[in-house]
Structures are given as C-alpha cells and as structure tokens.
Structure 1
Amino acid sequence: MPGSHGRPPGATDKATLPRSARLPINRCNLPAVVLGSLTYQRHPSPLLLDGVAELHRDLFRRLDEAGTDARGEVFRDYLTVHFQLEWLEEMGYTGGQKARAKANYARMIRGWSFDSDSREGAVLKGWVESRFGLLPRWHGQPLRDPADDAYGRYMEMRSQGLYGTNALEAQFDLVYTYCQYELARRHPGARHVTLYRGVNRVADHEILSRGEGGRHTLLFNNLNSFTCSRDRACEFGDYILAVDVPLSKIFFYCGLLPGILQGEDEFLAIGGVADVTLSTI
C-alpha cells in the first residue's frame, strides 16, 4: 500500500502551509500549520478530533467486538440511532423542509462525488476548515480573499447546506474517526497510500515549487478526490498527479461503507502542501 515518489530536488521540510491557507485554531491535536505542511506529508502522525473517541467509547467497543465483515453495519446502525436519522421528530423536527432534515453523511458524500463544487461540497470543505483549520482554496473558482464575492458564495452554499440539518458536522467527525479506525485495522503499520489524480491543466493547481523529472510541491484544496487506480485517473485528464497521501488524511474511501461511493476507486483526502510526481498518460 505505501509508496514513495521522492521529493523535488532542492526541496526541504521548511516548505510549509502559507498563512493565507490556514486558521490559527482548529479542533484536533495538531495545529493547521503542522498538519498542512510538507513535513507532515513526509512524517505523518495520527490526527485526533477533539472529544470524538471519548464521547463515543461505546461505538469503538462494539467495533472491537465485531468481525471484519460486520463492522460497517455496526457503524451505520450506531449513527442511525445516535442521530435518530430515521426518527427525525425525536431530534426536534416539527415540519417544513424535510428534505434538508433528511440530509446526512451518506447524502453529503454522494453529493460530493457528483460535484465537489456543489452545496454538499461546500459543507464538507467547511467541516475540514472547522476541524483541521485548513481553508478551502477552490469552490467553483479560486478562494483567496474572504472579502471576495467567490468566498461569499462559498460561505452562502455552506450555510445553506448546513441549515435545518441534523448535526451533520458531528456525523462527519464519526465518519472520519471510523475511517481511521478501519485503515489502522486493515493496514497495520502503514503510513501512506499512493493515490492519483487526472488533470488537464496543471496550472489550475497552486504550485509552490517545481523540480526535475515532473516532481513538484503543490498546495492542494482542503479536501480532494483521488483514486487508487492510475488507469482510472487517466480517464480524467491528460496529466497524472501521483501523491503519497498520509493515511491519517483519508476522510473516506470507496468500500469503507458500501453503497455510498460507486466505482472509480475514489478516496477523499484532506489537503495541504504535498510533494507530487507529474507525468503524462
């Protein structure tokens, strides 16, 4: 599972996350300036969201007791009951926009897979911003200045996506934590997975430094889609980015909970600065 494509010649671990791409505070055990840095990509450590493991000890006890094939169903059942996903009235729903009240982690992730610049995408990028302190860099267009119209549109979509829903960000907290639990169980000792992304215009990405042999250092959006299949990535662009992504930055992947992502061997990964290798098809 792990892989390594090296680093751009002359690159050092001093390459880090620009101040404009991070918040000074977040809700996990490492600050954004650390977890979003090139050093972290090369030397990752676990990312723990504040209070999640402590508040949901019973879930992880049940997962420890369940077999490999049963853990996904244990997790789904726990979220359904804990957030009363099938009994909205128990969570205070009294009428109005029931479609919004029915929005849940599965629908948000499916929405992302259809269009990462959708309202669902804005909600997920907002969750990453809140929990990890990494600011989004793109949502339909570049996001560089909170005073710009583009940033205002992103915030409006994020707010609309969260309004009237049932603790969506708390649901995402558990999805991420469960994903990390499963990766640790299925790939003990692994720290990275090599993932791929097909692109048509490399210039659409924020290039921090260029090296030889197609090796560059990029600043990725705060949440990104990749695939574990290079052949699949070739279907999405003329250039292929290969990235050694820390397992601790995987939010969700195809197969974690069957039926949510269909095909494409898709991985949703938290962003930041990363060394990549660029090649042509």
Structure 2
Amino acid sequence: MRANVNKTNAIYKPPTLPASARLPVNRCNLPAVILGSLTYQRHPVPLEIDGISHFHDDLFRTLATFPTHADRAQRFQDYMTVNFLLDELDEAGLMPGRGRKSRANANYLRQVRGWSFDSDGREGAVLKRWVESRFGLLARHHAGSLADRNSEVYQRYISDGSRGLYATNALESQLDLLYTYCQYELKREYPEQTHLTLYRGINRMDEHEVQSTCESDLQCVLLNNLNSFTSARERADEFGDYILETQIPLPKILFFNRLLPGMLKGEDEYVVIGGVYEVSINTI
C-alpha cells in the first residue's frame, strides 16, 4: 500500500539541498548544493574527487587490461596493499606500542566491514566524515540526530570520527581510491545506465527529513549523507515497515557488496551518498 501524499496546486519547484545540510567547500568537481539536490538525482554527471584519477592513472590503465571483474578486484587490492604499505607498517611510520594492532587494522576494508556491522559505530563515523570532507554533505544522523552541534550525540560523532582516523595510514586517501575504483567498475558493468533502482527499509518515517511533496505521487526526502540500500526489495522488507524506493545515480554509490570479495554481509547491499532524493514510500 502506498503512503498518503498531500498535493498542492502551487507551482512545483524542485527542492534544493538546505544550507544546514552542506558545507561551502568540498573536494570534488561539483559543489554540495548541486550534487545534493533533486536536480542532480534526475540529471547526474560523473563525480570526481580532486586529483585521484590522475594521481593513480597507472592503476586504471592496468585495470583496463583485465577482462574479468575478479581479476580487476584482485589487482586493486594488491595495489592498495603496496601503495599504502598495508603490510609494511614500520615503513609506513607506525611505531610499536599498545595501539599497534588496532591501528594496523584501520584500513579501507575495516571501515567497510565496520559499516556493515554498525553504521553508527566508529567506522561509520569515519565514513560519514569522509563524505563531509569530499562531497560537502553534512551527516544528519549518527546514533541520534546531529542537528544540535552542541549536543552530546554530535560531540560523540566528532570524537568517534577523529579517533577512527588517528594514526592511520592515509585512511581518507584509501577511501578516495575505493570510491574511484567503485565508479570505474560501475561504468564497466552498466555502460548505458545512469541510475539503479534501490530500496531501503525503515521503521519510522520521522527518522527521515521529508522536504516537500514532489511531482506525481512521490515525496522528496533529505537522506543522511551515507545510507545503506539494497537492490532486492524482499531484503528491504526485513528492515522495516516502510520501503523507500528510489532511483540512485551511479556516481552516488560509494561501494557495494560485489565490488570486492567478502566486502559486505548483505548480498545485495549498496552504500549510497545522500542528499535530496525523490522517493516512493510504500508500506509492507
């Protein structure tokens, strides 16, 4: 059953990203006010983090010579290990000490798996703060609302993100390259597509910020700056009484379960960068 939607006779204007949900600067080719808007969802263009494709051009030239996804995934992981000295911690400058083991595990794979286990945990805070830095989209929720910058919830979010990055080996740069590799693979897998239809199960509508009634029978919702979706509607049913269905631009997919071997728990999980989205809200 489709959730009720109130309509008006006013002239419809696609909602933009509220100023409270964005930063004035970021590190990609579009400002947050554009890439977080409904217009971007409808008419996406590629997003590029500053300098990453150019700096790692040799990796992507090499990947183009591998015909299978599995071979490319292995080559990418090998490149990450060598380029970021993930198996050579002493050369990376990690000193002996009590925190050595935990810092040794603080790499891009640990962040992804930590997100899958608990998106409100330390790894989730690192990923959300990375989205803030690279795309300028502010987190809206992390174990509670982040609307009040003076709240204990917000301070804990900042603390978790900072502790998660402390003494790591260029962790944010690892995430930059993970996103860029994900975009490379999506372009190869879906050369003629701009969007994927994805689903998200939720229990309470008041956990999401409804901006306005969209055209037709859809609603415009401001999502958190990072969110889990699934490509299987029956999987979304397992996570709540309401199902959000929407068209996700490929450039807003940070990673997905099939990108690397054993990457996520969910068989059909996609981790999606937020902003304003036009969604269909259905009840189970």
TM-score > 0.5, shorter chain as reference: yes
Q: 1: CA distance between counterparts of 2:6 and 2:270? A: 25
Deviation at 1:101, TM superposition (A): 3.0
What is the CA–CA distance in structure 2 between the aligned matches of 1:235 and 1:219, rounded to whole Å? 22
Whether the 8 Å contact between 1:214 and 1:278 is mirrored in structure 2 is: no
Equivalent positions of 1:212-223 (< 5 A) are: 215-223=218-226
- 1:93 aligned partner: 94
Q: Is the 8 A contact 1:227 1:265 kept in 2?
A: yes
1:130 equivalent in alignment to 2:133: yes
Cα offset, 1:151, TM superposition? 1.4
Aligned-pair identity in percent equals 58
* Aligned-partner Cα distance in 1 for 2:183–2:74: 16
2:83: which partner in 1? Answer: 82
CA distance in 1, matches of 2:170, 2:7: 45
Q: Which residue of 2 aligns with 1:3?
A: none
Q: How does 1:197-208 map to 2 (within 5 A)?
A: 197-208=200-211
SS class of match (1:88) = coil
Contact 1:128 1:134 in 2 (8 A): yes
1:233 and 2:232 are equivalent in the alignment:
no
Count residues in correspondence: 275
Mapped partners of 1:113, 1:15: distance in 2 = 31
Aligned-partner residue type, residue 30 of structure 1:
L
The answer on 1:139 being equivalent to 2:130 is no
Deviation at 1:9, TM superposition (A): 6.2
3-state SS of paired residue (2:173): helix
Aligned pairs for 1:47-196 (under 5 A) are: 47-68=47-68, 69-96=70-97, 97-98=99-100, 99-196=102-199
CA positional deviation for 1:147: 2.7
How far off is 1:66 after superposition?
A: 1.4
Aligned-pair CA distance for 1:254: 0.9
Give, in angstroms, the shift of residue 13 of structure 1.
Answer: 5.1
Contact kept? 1:111, 1:121, Cα under 8 Å: yes
Instruction: Give the root-mean-square deviation of aligned CA atoms.
Output: 1.7
Cα distance between partner residues in 1 of 2:260 and 2:120:
23
**Residues 196-222 of structure 1: per-residue CA shift (max 9 Å, x gap):** 011111111011113688621100000
Amino acid across the alignment from 1:83: F
Query: What is the aligned counterpart of 1:269 among 246, 269, 272?
Result: 272
Name the SS of the counterpart of 2:227 in structure 1.
strand
Matched residues in 2 for 1:38 and 1:235: separation? 28
Q: Counterpart of 1:17 in structure 2: which amino acid? A: L
User: 2:14·2:214 contact (CA, 8 Å) conserved in 1?
Assistant: no
TM-score (norm 2): 0.93
Residue pair 2:214, 2:278 contacting (<8 A) in 1 also: no
Q: Hey, what's the Cα distance between the residues in 2 that align with 1:230 and 1:23?
A: 33
For structure 1, the residue ranges without an aligned partner over 5 or more in a row are: 1-6
Matched-pair contact (CA < 8 Å) for 1:8–1:275: no
Give secondary structure in 2 for the equivalent of 1:260: coil
Q: Residue 44 of structure 1 corresponds to which residue in structure 2? A: 44
Determine if contact 2:107/2:174 at 8 Å carries over to the other structure: yes
Structure 1 contact 8–217 (Cα < 8 Å) conserved: no
1:144: Cα distance to partner? 1.1
Kept after mapping to 2: 8 A contact 1:13/1:38: no
- Secondary structure of the structure 2 residue equivalent to 1:138: coil
The residue matched to 2:109 in structure 1 has which SS?
Answer: helix
